[in-house]
Amino acid sequence: MRALAALAVLASTAAAGPARADADSLLDHLGPREIAVGEAGRAGAIGALAVSLNPAGLPLTRELVFEGGYGYRLSDSASLVSVSACDSTNAMPGCFFYQYVNASPELDGVDHKRHAHTAGISLSRALGDRFLLGSTAKYFSAGSDLMDEPDASGFNWDAGLTVRLTDIVNVAAVGYNLWGKRSPQYPRAASGGVLLRPWGPLAVNFDAVWNLDAEGSTGRYGGGLEYFLTGGSGQVGYPLRAGVVHDVAGSNTYLSAGLGLATMKLGLDVGARRQVRGGDELQLIASLRVFGPRQESGGLE
C-alpha cells in the first residue's frame, strides 16, 4: 500500500544512485542508451533501463538479458561500472544488479575521493494491458571526503508506474529513494516521462527529474530521439540516438548522442554526453548485452 500511495502522489503532481555532478541528475548509474537520448526513457524502460530509470517498465518486453557496462567521466576521473541480469519472461519480471562509482573530483586545487557501491533487485507486475507497477529495493554503501557528503550505508527503495495510454504513447512516474536510509549521495527524487512512437523505427522520449531534498530551484529536463535502422535480413539493427539535457540548479546544458549494434543474441551500445553550457564535462559509456532465448514482444520492442 505504501508503494501505491507514493505512486498516486507522483502521478498527480507530475503528469538514483548518487548525484554529485549536478543536483538533480541522478546520473552516475545511467547507461549508454539513456545517456544518448538526453537521460530520458522512463516511459519505455526495458531490461537494465528499468534498474536505473523505472522498475515498472520490465513487462514491456519478454526477454532474458545480461548486461555489463563501463563509463568514464573526464571532469572528475570517474569510473562507472554496472552489471545486471533481467528476466521478464515470467509473471513477475525482475532484475538483479550491482553498480559501482569511483571518482576523484578536484575542488580548490585539492583532489578528493568519492565512491559508492549499490546492489539490489527490481520487480514489476502488469495490471492488465495498460498499467505496470514496479519497485526496487537496494543496499548502498557510499564514502567521500567531501564535507557535505558524510559516509553512509543502508537500504532504500524506489517505486515506478508506467501507463500505456495507446499503442503510440506511454507515460511514467517514478520516485527514487523514497523510504529508507537518508543520505546526500542518494537524495529523494521524483520523475516523470513520456514515450512517443509515431512511426515504427522512431522513438521520442521526454523526461524530467526533481531532487526533493535540494534547496532552491530544481529540475533536470531532457529528451531525445532513437531511430532504429535494420539490415536487409531484419536480423541486425543499428540504433542511432541523440538528445539534450538542461539542469536548472546549475544552469547547465548538455548535448548527447550514441549508436548501437543489435542482433538476436547480442547488443552493443555506446553513448556520450558533452556539457555545452556551464562547464566542459564529457562522459563516455558503453555496454554489452547478451540475450537468452527470445520471447514474443510485449508490444514496444
**pLDDT score at 167:** 93
CA distances from 152 to 34, 105, 116, 121, 262 (A): 27, 19, 9, 20, 39
The more confidently predicted of residues 29 and 122 is 122
Query: Rounded distance, CA 237 to CA 242, Å?
Result: 17
Predicted confidence (pLDDT) at residue 13 exceeds the cutoff of 60: no
Question: Which residues lie below 8 Å from residue 162, measured CB to CB, with a gap of 6+?
Answer: 42, 43, 45, 54, 56, 57, 60, 131, 132, 134, 170, 171, 172
DSSP states along 147-192: TT---EEEEEEEEEEEEE-SSSEEEEEEEES-SS--BTTB--EEEE
Let me know if domain 2-291 sits in CATH 2.60.120.460.
no
Sequence ranges of the domains in the chain:
2-291
Q: Give the model confidence (pLDDT) of 118-165 as tens digits.
A: 999 999 999 999 999 999 999 999 888 877 778 899 999 999 999 999
Predicted confidence (pLDDT) at residue 205 exceeds the cutoff of 50: yes
Question: Which residues lie below 8 Å from residue 267, measured CB to CB, with a gap of 6+?
Answer: 65, 260, 261, 288, 289, 291
The more confidently predicted of residues 299 and 109 is 109
Confidence category of residue 295, pLDDT binned at 50, 70, 90: low
Confidence category of residue 51, pLDDT binned at 50, 70, 90: very high
Confidence category of residue 185, pLDDT binned at 50, 70, 90: confident
Confidence category of residue 28, pLDDT binned at 50, 70, 90: confident
Q: Where is 125: in which H helix or E strand?
A: strand 114-127
Q: What is the mean pLDDT of residues 269-294?
A: 93
**pLDDT score at 131:** 97
* 3-state class (DSSP) for residue 12: helix
Dihedral pair phi/psi, residue 233, rounded to 5°: -85, -15
Q: What is the mean pLDDT of residues 244-264?
A: 94
Q: Give the model confidence (pLDDT) of 78-93 as tens digits.
A: 999 999 999 999 989 9
Closest CA to 101 of 82, 75, 74: 82
pTM of the model: 0.86
Confidence category of residue 26, pLDDT binned at 50, 70, 90: low
Q: What is the mean pLDDT of residues 101-122?
A: 88
Closest CA to 6 of 207, 194, 173: 173
